[in-house]
Amino acid sequence: MNATHRLQLRDICISLEGQTLVELDAEIGPGEVLTVMGPSGSGKSTLLAYLAGFLAPAFQARGRVLLDGRDISGLPAERRGIGLLFQDPLLFPHLSVAGNLRFGMPRAGANKTARVEQALGNIGLAGFGARDPATLSGGQKARVALMRLLLSAPCAVLLDEPFSKLDTHLRHEMRRLVFDRLHEAGLPSLLVTHDREDAEEAGGRVIELAH
Amino acid sequence: MRTLFPRLAALVPTLLLPATALQAAPAPADWEAVLDEARGQAVYWYAWAGEQRTNDYIDWVAGQVEEQFDIALTHVKVGDTSEAVSRVLAEKQAGNHDDGNVDLIWINGENFAAMKANELLFGPFAETLPNFALTHPEHNPEVVTDFTLPTEGYESPWGRAQITFYYDSHELRGDSQEVAAPPQDIHALLAWAEANPGRFTYPRIPDFTGSTFLKQALIELTDEHEALYAPVAESDFAAITAPLWDYLDALHPHLWRSGRQFPATGPEMRSLMGNGELALAFTFTPSEPAAAVADFELPESTRSYVPESGTLGNVHFVAIPYNSPHKAGAMVVADFLLSPEAQAHKQDLDVWGDRTVLDLARLDDQSRDLFTLDDSNPAMLPAGALQKTLPEPHPSWMTALQDAWQARYIGD
Amino acid sequence: MATDHPRDEGSLMLRLAPVLIVILLVAPILAGLTMALLPAFGYLPALGGERLSLDPWRALFAEPGIWRSAAISLASGLLATAISLAVVLLFLAAASGSRLDRWIRRLVSPLLSIPHAAAAFGLAFLIAPSGLVARLASPGLTGWERPPDLLIVHDPWGLSLIAGLVIKEIPFLLLMSLAALPQLDTERRVAMARSLGYRPTLAWWKVVAPSLYPLIRLPVFAVIAYASSVVDVAMILGPTLPPTLAVSILTWFSDPDLETRFLASAGAILQLGVTATALMIWWALERLVARLMRGWVIRGGRRRGEASLHIAGKLWVVLVTVIAFAGIAGLAIHSVAGFWRFPDLLPTSATLAHWARALPALAGPIASTALVAVASTLIAAALALAALENEQRSGRHPSRALWLLYLPLIVPQIAFLFGLVVVMEQLGTRPTHALVTFGHLLFVLPYVFLSLSEAYRRFDPRWSRLALTLGASRNGAFWRVRLPMLLAPILTAVAVGLAVSIGQYLPTQLLAGGRVTTVTTEAVSLAAGNNRRVIGVWALVQACLPLVGFIIAIGLPKLLWSNRRGMQGAP
């Protein structure tokens, strides 16, 4: 888990009906977190949708997204190798905890059951594999969601205000866990938030989108 | 090649022959050839399905022809025979002249007249059916006459109907002021209805049982009988029918629902009897009341009778559409329906109770025994009651009476 | 380039789905209408009608009682719709989530699945002069020793017909409303209005009803079209002298006098006009009511009328539910009745003879019914899912052409089905299960699509995005996430589709030419025999078949997700 990946955003410009929403040029190294801050309506989510490959057809985008030197801006979402962490943990309600973790694991991987068990142990949830995700606490769900992201072996990660819905005491704990793990895994990450504390704990560069 | 060649060969005549009604038809005279061709055919028989007993009988026929002739007979259930007529018409309209859906139709009266006039029928075939001779048409002209029209071999007889009245003897003998004896002619019926308001009715026109009641009344009310047996256009309809309308105008206020509403069909009239809404009703199937008692529909005190004035009776037939692709199979089924075996089974009160069209004098003793009637059932007509049969008028009268009735009594 | 959405395998099929749906629904209707329009103006070469004329119309308007027929069709369509809508809105306004409300909701869904014919028979057995109600009150309360000579069923004003339609349309409109309500954030709106001093039922009428109506407007139009042109219910309950226009047309079309075909075609076009008129009158009424409502809403009354609105909301829906279930109970009693003299409340004896007699005949029609229903529903569900998935993937708004989905629900069946039969004949098709399945698809597809689209479009798009960012393909995201998570609404849509197919009478009868008999065609044709016991057996079977679908639709997700709390009460 210490591959090195690099995400480069080259002259990105997203506009709607001729009006520019976001302009950005940045580079994120392995294990680094780039925080993009701005009030609602500043185009943060549009930027995330663009990077992940979900931009609605109404928008126009220019520029290139390079992941490890490869231009991925033309690729469909599932082939970009970019993982996403949402505000909500979004554990698939029809799968067990283990089923959620396995969902993103590459199909060819060997010894999946053991790796899932190990991953659960890693986040303090050993033996929770067969549980219904709806029976977990908020913090437990957030940890499973993070682990599911990591097990899917992404090359870069987008964080969409992942801590905004957590209780204050949990929020701090989760930030530490998320940033440590991403750093450990050597993943370039882009965090979108309007919470200054998020930016501070992320520790990386901060770009403010103004509008 | 071996399998392909016969198929090609079979195509050739179809390609060469002009598209006439008889193109793929078997020659009815060569009965062995007909039987051969019928083997393995699927025959679709469009038949009125309003009666469970009738349906059960047709089911039995299907089993028999499957076993005896290897014919797969399907009863296509229709609510009104005219549905089958209009289907054949739709096919003709669409240019489907040799691959129709209807192989056999249960038919008579104006439906037959309409199909024949529009050249929608295959034939003549009936008189060549081996069992047809058992009907002895020379002595029984009704089996080759349908509402005055000669059938000319375009339909084959298979049963008989005659108007039969029935009542609940328990009710008529009851404490009410109702006449103890049921009415014996059309004038007595009016008097009876006046004495028993709301207890009699007839099916709404154009239902065939209801229409038959109109004809029955007209025959009894007019003196000009000859005119009724010629096309209606040849006589003064208004003058001849005037007594009928006077009669109905007088009768209606005393009918069920004061004549503002009528049951849709004969069976609906029967169910009104069963519910106690009516005290007197009639049917076209003489055994129907007895059968309904057995089915818990009518009380055991039900009794049947034919009024002394006599009642209308007719024969019902089966016909084959001109575009049926299974004419041989249909002919074999029509012939089977005329067999003593099938006719006797049909007449059995436990099965259907429809009377035979065979002339019993033509049968051997053994076959004749099959037709012995069990008259121990009190709801059944007494033996010999069906002697006074009045023949059906020309089919154009039925249509004319229906139109006139509807113009007079609908929507006022 | 980034906005260009990548296509993967199967996406061509997906993009074709909406086109296919539109063609499947529109082409047969247009073809059928054309073949009704031509003979209506005298053109029918097979019958010697070689040039256009107005004779069919002259003959039509010379028919006795034709205007009354048309008027009754128009009035019963409008009244049945207005009453059903009023009862549904009154109930929703008064519903507060009490145990009674939950029971009513639970009871209403099976009512939706009961075919119209079975419900109509149930009502007829209940309210006829010799029906259960009269028996219950006789002779004790009424003194009736024999059935009263009253015009109840088949009354000339069509009141029984309207009652029969109301019983069936209330569940439909209620379920359509329940599906639409979640979009409106009802609870917060009512809470807000209550905080301004409005009583709860009044609050609902003033802040929810005006937003709800536009969402259920198309279903309401479908009800108007259906109620103004229905055949089977009108045959069982409607007036007879003259009958409604649709029933008259059916009689003319099957008249042995083949000339009547022209008249019948003109009648079919007139029916189209009657239904269109009903829709226009409704549209004008909408305007009027909207204006009146606006005044009432802003006038600011907060309390007056609350109690009566509240009581009416419960009373009517309970009454209708009780009547419907009592009707079904009546069918059950008749199906085992021995002789049953009036005014006995129960038959003198019970017998299984009617069932024993029907049993051998039931197997074939049940198999045909199931085959056609399952095939048409599966095709419909696949097409609907493909179209909806395509909509999601392309990120476009619902295609505007999809309003055409409502065409089969708004064009009266009787107006185009006869023409369609002629067209099918000309194409050389044979009446087979496949042709009947195609005919059913016309009506199953819209209902399946409508009951599925809400849940599908409301489904949180983040789930699929999440699946994609976890490396699942688009098809994988569909099969592994969307499909299982939407299992409950999909099964409900399937159950609705099955129920619609099972209830079809006219398309089955006409397209099959009687060769494919379903439980419904069998029940209606046996109805001609008017044997209440036989009808009881068949109508009961007809009513129970769709229930099987609903039981599976409700039970299967419960079983599968018994260990998944997050899937209980899912969308």
Q: Could you tell me if B324 and B219 lie in one domain? A: no
Q: Could you tell me if C295 and C187 lie in one domain? A: yes
Task: Please tell me the predicted confidence (pLDDT) of residue C2.
Answer: 37
Task: Please tell me the predicted confidence (pLDDT) of residue A54.
Answer: 86
Q: Could you tell me if B393 and B325 lie in one domain? A: no
Q: Could you tell me if C249 and C362 lie in one domain? A: no
Mark which residues 144-183 of C lie under 8 Å from B by CB.
Answer: 146-147, 149-151, 154, 156
What's the residue count for chain B? 412
Beta carbons of B220 and B185 less than 8 angstroms apart: yes
Task: Tell me which of B40-49, B195-204, C18-27, C40-49 is least confident.
Answer: C40-49
Task: Please tell me the predicted confidence (pLDDT) of residue B18.
Answer: 35
Q: C22: helix, coil or strand?
A: helix
For residue A104, the distance in angstroms to the closest alpha carbon of chain C comes to: 5
More confident residue, B176 or B189: B189
Q: Could you tell me if B319 and B299 lie in one domain? A: no
C349 neighbourhood in chain B, CB within 8 Å: 296
Rounded distance, CA B212 to CA B209, Å?
5
**Residue B228 structure tokens:** 């009724």
Determine, yes or no, domain membership for C560: yes
Determine, yes or no, domain membership for B14: no
Q: Could you tell me if B102 and B173 lie in one domain? A: no
Q: Given the DSSP bridges, would you call strands B280-283 and A59-67 parallel, antiparallel or unpaired?
A: unpaired
C49: phi then psi, degrees, rounded to nearest 5: -85, 95
Give the structural domain span for A73: 7-93+137-208
Beta carbons of B373 and B384 less than 8 angstroms apart: no
Q: Could you tell me if B223 and B321 lie in one domain? A: no
Task: Among A73, A91, A94, select the one facing C561 at the smallest CB separation.
Answer: A94
- Can you tell me the mean pLDDT for C207-235? 91
pLDDT exceeds 50 at position C45: yes
pLDDT exceeds 70 at position B20: no
- As a dihedral over the C-alpha atoms of residue C440, residue C442, residue C448, residue C450, rounded to 10 degrees, the angle is -150
Rounded distance, CA B233 to CA B76, Å?
36
Task: Among C156, C532, C533, select the one facing B260 at the smallest CB separation.
Answer: C156
Sheet holding B164-168, edge to edge: B280-283, B164-168, B302-305
**pLDDT 10s digits, B26-59:** 677 789 999 999 999 999 999 988 777 888 899 9
Domain harbouring C475, CATH code: 1.10.3720.10
Task: Please tell me the predicted confidence (pLDDT) of residue B8.
Answer: 34
Nearest Cα to Cα of residue B369 among B346, B341, B339:
B341
pLDDT exceeds 60 at position C247: yes
Confidence of residue C149 (pLDDT cuts 50, 70, 90): confident
Nearest Cα to Cα of residue C171 among C330, C333, C325:
C325
Task: Please tell me the predicted confidence (pLDDT) of residue B411.
Answer: 65
Beta carbons of B192 and B198 less than 8 angstroms apart: no
Q: How many domains does chain B have?
A: 2
Task: Tell me which of A62-71, B74-83, B219-228 is least confident.
Answer: B74-83
The answer to whether B87 contacts C257, with C-beta atoms less than 8 Å apart, is: no
Q: C355: helix, coil or strand?
A: helix
**Residue B147 structure tokens:** 């509402």
Give the H or E element holding residue B154: none
**pLDDT 10s digits, B209-226:** 999 999 999 999 998 888
Task: Among B93, B257, B265, select the one facing C47 at the smallest CB separation.
Answer: B93
Q: Could you tell me if C213 and C242 lie in one domain? A: yes
The answer to whether B264 contacts C240, with C-beta atoms less than 8 Å apart, is: yes
pLDDT exceeds 80 at position C427: no
Rounded distance, CA A76 to CA C369, Å?
44
Mean pLDDT of chain C: 86
CA distances from C191 to B17, C98, C205, C296 (A): 82, 17, 13, 19
More confident residue, A38 or B157: B157
Q: C103: helix, coil or strand?
A: helix
CA B37 to chain centre: 29
Q: Could you tell me if C177 and C244 lie in one domain? A: yes
The answer to whether A93 contacts C477, with C-beta atoms less than 8 Å apart, is: no
Q: How many domains does chain C have?
A: 2
Q: Could you tell me if B195 and B63 lie in one domain? A: no
B314: phi then psi, degrees, rounded to nearest 5: -155, 175
Beta carbons of B70 and B40 less than 8 angstroms apart: yes
Q: Could you tell me if C31 and C65 lie in one domain? A: no
Give the structural domain span for C204: 54-95+157-335
**Residue B225 structure tokens:** 């009988």
- As a dihedral over the C-alpha atoms of residue B380, residue B386, residue B391, residue B396, rounded to 10 degrees, the angle is 0
Q: C129: helix, coil or strand?
A: coil
Q: Could you tell me if B155 and B218 lie in one domain? A: no
Q: A62: helix, coil or strand?
A: strand
Determine, yes or no, domain membership for C517: yes
Confidence of residue B87 (pLDDT cuts 50, 70, 90): confident
Task: Please tell me the predicted confidence (pLDDT) of residue B23.
Answer: 41
Task: Tell me which of B117-126, B375-384, C205-214, C410-419 is least confident.
Answer: B375-384
Task: Please tell me the predicted confidence (pLDDT) of residue B405.
Answer: 94
Task: Please tell me the predicted confidence (pLDDT) of residue C139.
Answer: 77
Q: Could you tell me if B404 and B259 lie in one domain? A: yes
Q: Could you tell me if B119 and B143 lie in one domain? A: yes
Q: Could you tell me if B284 and B404 lie in one domain? A: yes
CA gyration radius, chain A: 17
What's the residue count for chain A? 211
Give, rounded to a whole angstrom, the gap between the first and last alpha carbons of chain C: 35
Rounded distance, CA B355 to CA B402, Å?
27
- Can you tell me the mean pLDDT for B370-376? 73
Helix-, strand-, coil-residue percentages of chain B, each rounded to 5: 45, 15, 40
Confidence of residue B412 (pLDDT cuts 50, 70, 90): low
Half-sphere exposure (Cβ direction) of C402: Cα atoms closer than 13 Å: 18
CA distances from A200 to A35, A71, A204 (A): 9, 30, 8
Give the Cα-Cα-Cα angle C70, C76, C78 (nearest 5 degrees).
105
A158 neighbourhood in chain C, CB within 8 Å: 469
The answer to whether C64 contacts B407, with C-beta atoms less than 8 Å apart, is: yes
Determine, yes or no, domain membership for A49: yes
Determine, yes or no, domain membership for A1: no
Give the structural domain span for B218: 164-305+388-409
Name beta bridge partners: B380: none
Beta carbons of C79 and C282 less than 8 angstroms apart: no
Determine, yes or no, domain membership for B9: no
- Can you tell me the mean pLDDT for A178-206? 89
Task: Please tell me the predicted confidence (pLDDT) of residue B180.
Answer: 63
The answer to whether B96 contacts C425, with C-beta atoms less than 8 Å apart, is: yes
Q: B161: helix, coil or strand?
A: strand
For residue B127, the distance in angstroms to the closest alpha carbon of chain C comes to: 25
Q: Using omega within 30 degrees of 0 as the cis cutoff, is the peptide bond preceding C139 cis?
A: yes
Task: Please tell me the predicted confidence (pLDDT) of residue B9.
Answer: 34
Q: Could you tell me if C371 and C439 lie in one domain? A: yes
Beta carbons of C160 and B270 less than 8 angstroms apart: no
Determine, yes or no, domain membership for B298: yes
A82 neighbourhood in chain C, CB within 8 Å: 469
Task: Please tell me the predicted confidence (pLDDT) of residue C569.
Answer: 59
The one-letter code for the residue type at A129 is G
pLDDT exceeds 70 at position C468: yes
**Mutation site for A-interface testing, chosen from C470, C475, C483, C556 by largest number of A Cβ within 10 Å:** C470
Rounded distance, CA C326 to CA C330, Å?
6
* Buried b / exposed e along C246-273 (16+ C-beta atoms within 10 A): bbbbbbbbbbbbbbbbbbbbbbbbbbbe
pLDDT exceeds 70 at position B389: yes
Q: Could you tell me if B291 and B181 lie in one domain? A: yes
The answer to whether C472 contacts A90, with C-beta atoms less than 8 Å apart, is: no
**pLDDT 10s digits, C475-521:** 889 999 999 999 988 998 999 899 999 999 889 988 887 778 899 88
**Other C-beta atoms within 10 Å of C182: how many?**
12
Q: Could you tell me if C86 and C228 lie in one domain? A: yes
The answer to whether C531 contacts B271, with C-beta atoms less than 8 Å apart, is: yes
Q: Could you tell me if C291 and C390 lie in one domain? A: no
Determine, yes or no, domain membership for A129: no
**Residue C538 structure tokens:** 């068949």
Name beta bridge partners: B283: B164
**pLDDT 10s digits, A126-144:** 999 999 999 999 889 999 9
DSSP string for residues in C56-87 = HHHHHHHSTTHHHHHHHHHHHHHHHHHHHHHH
Task: Among C128, C337, C525, select the one facing B78 at the smallest CB separation.
Answer: C525
pLDDT exceeds 80 at position A185: yes
Q: How many domains does chain A have?
A: 1
Task: Among C395, C473, C481, select the one facing A57 at the smallest CB separation.
Answer: C395
Rounded distance, CA C263 to CA C267, Å?
6
Task: Please tell me the predicted confidence (pLDDT) of residue C553.
Answer: 86
Q: Could you tell me if C280 and C413 lie in one domain? A: no
Domain harbouring A39, CATH code: 3.40.50.300
CA gyration radius, chain C: 25
Task: Please tell me the predicted confidence (pLDDT) of residue A169.
Answer: 84
Determine, yes or no, domain membership for C149: no
Task: Please tell me the predicted confidence (pLDDT) of residue B188.
Answer: 93
Regarding chains A and B, contact by 3 or more CB pairs under 8 A is answered as no
Rounded distance, CA C71 to CA C73, Å?
5
Regarding chains A and C, contact by 3 or more CB pairs under 8 A is answered as yes
Confidence of residue A51 (pLDDT cuts 50, 70, 90): very high
Nearest Cα to Cα of residue C333 among C321, C350, C357, C348:
C350
Task: Please tell me the predicted confidence (pLDDT) of residue A18.
Answer: 84
Task: Please tell me the predicted confidence (pLDDT) of residue B410.
Answer: 83
Nearest Cα to Cα of residue A170 among A146, A124, A138:
A138
In this structure, what DSSP letter does residue B391 have?
Answer: P
Q: Could you tell me if C32 and C76 lie in one domain? A: no
Determine, yes or no, domain membership for B11: no
Helical residues (DSSP H) of B222-317, grouped into ranges: 225-228, 237-251, 266-274, 288-294
The one-letter code for the residue type at B314 is N
A7: phi then psi, degrees, rounded to nearest 5: -115, 125
B98–C contact, CB cutoff 8 A? no
Rounded distance, CA B199 to CA B192, Å?
9
Nearest Cα to Cα of residue C539 among C116, C109, C130:
C116
The answer to whether C469 contacts A93, with C-beta atoms less than 8 Å apart, is: no
DSSP string for residues in C183-196 = GGTHHHHHHHHHHT
**Mutation site for C-interface testing, chosen from A14, A45, A78, A158 by largest number of C Cβ within 10 Å:** A78
Q: Could you tell me if C457 and C316 lie in one domain? A: no
B407–C contact, CB cutoff 8 A? yes
Those residues with Cβ within 8 angstroms of residue C82's Cβ, 6 or more apart along the chain or in another chain: none
Nearest Cα to Cα of residue C174 among C263, C111, C237, C265:
C111
Nearest Cα to Cα of residue B373 among B351, B352, B354, B348:
B348
Determine, yes or no, domain membership for C49: no
Domain harbouring B289, CATH code: 3.40.190.10
**Mutation site for B-interface testing, chosen from C525, C535, C538 by largest number of B Cβ within 10 Å:** C525
Highest-pLDDT range among B203-217, C66-80, C176-190:
C66-80
C532 neighbourhood in chain B, CB within 8 Å: 271, 274
Confidence of residue B123 (pLDDT cuts 50, 70, 90): confident
Task: Please tell me the predicted confidence (pLDDT) of residue B6.
Answer: 36
Determine, yes or no, domain membership for A169: yes
Q: Could you tell me if C81 and C28 lie in one domain? A: no
C146 neighbourhood in chain B, CB within 8 Å: 276-277
Confidence of residue B22 (pLDDT cuts 50, 70, 90): very low
pTM above 0.90, yes or no: no
C68–B contact, CB cutoff 8 A? yes
Task: Tell me which of B236-250, C231-245, C354-368, C518-532 is least confident.
Answer: C518-532
- Can you tell me the mean pLDDT for B186-191? 93
Chain B residue with Cα closest to C147? B277
Determine, yes or no, domain membership for C466: yes
**Residue C139 structure tokens:** 């002779």
Q: B346: helix, coil or strand?
A: helix
For residue B133, the distance in angstroms to the closest alpha carbon of chain C comes to: 30
DSSP string for residues in C182-234 = GGGTHHHHHHHHHHTT--HHHHHHHHTHHHHHHHTHHHHHHHHHHHHH-SHHH
Q: Could you tell me if B56 and B146 lie in one domain? A: yes
**Residue B184 structure tokens:** 């014996």
C156 neighbourhood in chain B, CB within 8 Å: 260-261
Q: B326: helix, coil or strand?
A: coil
Determine, yes or no, domain membership for C140: no
Confidence of residue C402 (pLDDT cuts 50, 70, 90): low
The answer to whether A132 contacts C471, with C-beta atoms less than 8 Å apart, is: no
Give the H or E element holding residue B366: helix B365-369
